[in-house]
Structure 1
Amino acid sequence: MENIIYDTGFSGNEWFVLGIIAAALIPIWFFPRRFSPLQITFNMLIGIAFGLIFDHTIEIPPFDLYDLGDQTKFQLFDLFSYTMYAPFGYWYIYGYERLRMYEWMTIPYILFWAGLSLCFEWLGDYAGVFHYKNGYQLIYSLPVYLILLSIHLMMYRHAFAYTRWRKSHG
């Protein structure tokens, strides 16, 4: 596999990653606390885990559909870039709980977040974080987001069902 170099040095894609991390993490300190430390950790780690698993699944052969960062070869900053997924997991569940998106409102909520995810991916592509290849297009990420957001919500609801029940009834 040939190593393609897209950029050298600290540039737009690294600033984008740092900006997203700061813009999404800093407000967490100022918003009212809705979660236990366990719930915060769960939601942030699930964002990172999903990013690592699914990005690497379609980023490496046999798929090889895009590259992340400055070059095809994995770099240390690529690992750091996965932390930008952490606050999205937090805000996704924060909004779900805060807005009480239960029952039939869950579907439009997941669709909204899938659209938001596409927007951020588009910005990441524009900033040089993602480099699509082999015919991959941004819209192909939509089903991935729909599946991951659904799984995240199911896992959260299953893991913290008692906590949610206890908060609302006690």
Structure 2
Amino acid sequence: MNLWESFDKNEISIFIMMAAAYTAFFLLSKKFSRPVTLLFLLWGYTIGVVFDFTIGGGVIDFYKLNDTQNYKLFDFLYYSLFAPATFFFVYVYELLQIKKSFIWYIIGWALLGTGMQWPFSWLGIIDFQNGYQPVYSFPVFLTTLTVTGFYYERVRSTFEVPLPRKNMDHK
């Protein structure tokens, strides 16, 4: 495995995004218990990679990451951004105490995820091919975020989540 073919704006952009995402993560990660934090980092990485390998590789092959069809170091660094993104999704979900507006919350994040594909394309991180358009990812984001939201509710009912909830009695 080569580290990279050329070191240009896509690799620099990934470094900058990783620095920003993981700095914010480390500042916010103490709000959840360690098991919940690790669970959603792993969940985000896994669900992102599974869908990315399904759509972006294999038989379907709708896009390539970075410079080539082959996997390079920066492809895996790009995948590592899925982990804090999922953590932020869960963190804001809990912070805003999303219940009745769950559908709008999911739609908002799906629009954000879909919208981020245009700058990723401009930066050379994602190169769409075979007629694929970023808007086609919207249903994928809807699916993954909905499952993540339901999964978080299941986890929250099992683990104690330390952020305050409006309907809890404060002692």
Whether TM-score is above 0.5 comes out as: yes
Q: Is there any run of 5+ residues in structure 2 with no aligned partner, and where?
A: none
1:9 aligned counterpart, secondary structure:
coil
1:146 aligns with 2:142: yes
Aligned counterparts of 1:133 and 1:99: Cα–Cα separation in 2 = 38
The 2-side partners of 1:32 and 1:44 are apart by 10
Q: Which one of the candidate residues 93, 117, 122 is aligned to 2:90?
A: 93
TM-score by length of 1: 0.87
Q: 1:118-169: CA deviations, max 9, x gaps?
A: 2222211110010101100000000000000001111121123133589746
TM-score w.r.t. length of structure 2: 0.86
1:22 aligns with 2:19: yes
Pick the structure with more helix per residue.
1
Counterpart check, 1:106 vs 2:94: no
Matched-pair contact (CA < 8 Å) for 2:10–2:125:
yes
Aligned length in residues: 163
**Aligned partners of 1:21 and 1:87 also within 8 Å:** no
RMSD in angstroms over aligned alpha carbons? 2.1
Q: 1:32 to 1:74 in 2, by over 3 A?
A: closer
Sequence identity, in percent?
A: 29
Which runs of 5 or more residues in structure 1 are unaligned? 1-6
